[in-house]
Structure 1
């Protein structure tokens, strides 16, 4: 599997661990089988390098779960998950009748997920689109009954840090071109300070060793979209403290090391 796809197995392994906690932030009954032994081994290596672990994946997962649930319950029926990886939301979330969820990712990633979840029926109309997101994925999406005139909920989770900035800009330009009025984009972004913070140097080194180095960061993630979008930024550390799961105290004056973002098109 492509090295960047290994990160999807790591995320699944983290979600599997979270699902077993009594104070879990969410429950993913498919994460254990999606992670497999490869995911658990990669997570062990990641954890060994990281030392003190903060629950960024866990907080991020709950944030996007709640955001997607809120907007589809408010009427959006078209959802696109870019770089879907081992995301099982099409199977585990409760979707209103008539919701169509498009999952885009590399062919080998989606094939692995199809094999693992072959006996599980999704809780929505799930459309799988094998595609390299570095190429133009808009035409395959349109050809799969996607309607750009309708409002869409987009999810770009855990992807941007692995892309060069021109690819990030192109990705958001394509999202904007396909977003009808009332569309919402959920995404996350790493802050610039995090790429140079001594306390995460070992974590960044192991990600590079796994073949998935972090290369993109921004302190202004709202600027990835045009002025026609209303952007809300959330600090994952602050959310983690609200949910009583963040192990580090707040440091006055310290900027967030990343953001969780919700952007809505007027």
Structure 2
């Protein structure tokens, strides 16, 4: 179970979910009509030495049986890629990736000159990522800055110490993050983002609706999660929290919500019907995008 101040690396607890997301991005990149190209995703999986995840990316039949093969990671990754590139296209030159995990956008997106990308995560995750990318002589396409801090701690101070400038517009992402935070921590996260954001800043996040599908997932976990070896029901927080879109709107942001089906239509990639409780759950993810007006 989760506990206050718990830690992880890429093969344990919350960190392990990032590894499976990397496997999903690797699988998406192999599609003939791939929505993204992530040449680093498979390297992270292989570098982890985790046999379950390595088998998942090497065996197409095994991948097809996985709950993660519904296609939502391709849609999600494309949504956040477009979010960052749209902001950069509008002159934003500062990006913050909250709980960066095995995100390789600093290396694979075509950033404009002068772009600074801050990646916030726990020490072991960022160390592993740096080792894998160094081994292949990967060069970031932006000025990439690691910020080693837990999001439940005073991360704004660590971010500013790393060179972040709160007086210029910023593009933020909280991808695959909110369900792993207690309600109070999520609410504090958005309050801090608002405090650090100059007008013109942009924010994007995604969230799972915790309802009947989650309860079904908890009941079926022994069978349904055997392909991931990760019990999401022990990692997710289901306590009360503010609605981010409503809260941001009240603070002067212009917010919009898109459903998974709407993203699927936008990108011309129908979602595969969820074959189990996990698949049904992820197909109901909502995507938030917001721009700070004042």
TM-score, normalised by the number of residues in structure 1: 0.87
Indicate whether 1:196 and 2:215 are aligned. Answer: yes
The within-5 A match list for 1:128-143 is 128-143=146-161
Distance 1:51 1:123, change over 3 A: closer
Aligned twin of 1:257: 284
- Of 164, 168, 177 in structure 1, the residue corresponding to residue 195 of structure 2 is 177
Alpha-carbon distance between aligned partners in 2 of 1:12 and 1:200, rounded to the nearest angstrom = 27
Q: Is the CA contact 2:117–2:142 (under 8 Å) kept in the aligned structure 1?
A: yes
Q: What is the deviation of 1:239?
A: 1.7
Aligned twin of 2:52: 41
100-109 vs 200-209, greater mean Cα deviation: 200-209
Q: What is the deviation of 1:165?
A: 0.5
Aligned twin of 2:24: 14
188-197 vs 15-24, greater mean Cα deviation: 188-197
- Of 227, 245, 252 in structure 1, the residue corresponding to residue 270 of structure 2 is 245
Alpha-carbon distance between aligned partners in 2 of 1:201 and 1:50, rounded to the nearest angstrom = 15
Aligned twin of 2:248: 225
Alpha-carbon distance between aligned partners in 2 of 1:54 and 1:108, rounded to the nearest angstrom = 29
174-183 vs 188-197, greater mean Cα deviation: 188-197
Q: What is the deviation of 1:210?
A: 6.7
Aligned twin of 2:90: 74
Residues matched between the structures, number = 260
Alpha-carbon distance between aligned partners in 1 of 2:96 and 2:107, rounded to the nearest angstrom = 14
Q: What is the deviation of 1:209?
A: 3.1
- Of 227, 231, 253 in structure 2, the residue corresponding to residue 209 of structure 1 is 231
Cα deviation, 1:187-221, whole Å, max 9, x if unaligned, reads: 00111334235699435796763785222487944
Q: What is the deviation of 1:164?
A: 1.1
Q: Is the CA contact 2:255–2:291 (under 8 Å) kept in the aligned structure 1?
A: yes
Unaligned runs of 5+ in 1: 250-255
Q: Is the CA contact 1:12–1:39 (under 8 Å) kept in the aligned structure 2?
A: no
Alpha-carbon distance between aligned partners in 2 of 1:110 and 1:71, rounded to the nearest angstrom = 25
TM-score, normalised by the number of residues in structure 2: 0.79
CA-atom RMSD in angstroms: 2.9
Cα deviation, 1:132-167, whole Å, max 9, x if unaligned, reads: 111111111111111101110001100111111011
Distance 1:191 1:17, change over 3 A: same
Distance 1:144 1:247, change over 3 A: same
Distance 1:200 1:262, change over 3 A: farther
Alpha-carbon distance between aligned partners in 2 of 1:186 and 1:51, rounded to the nearest angstrom = 24
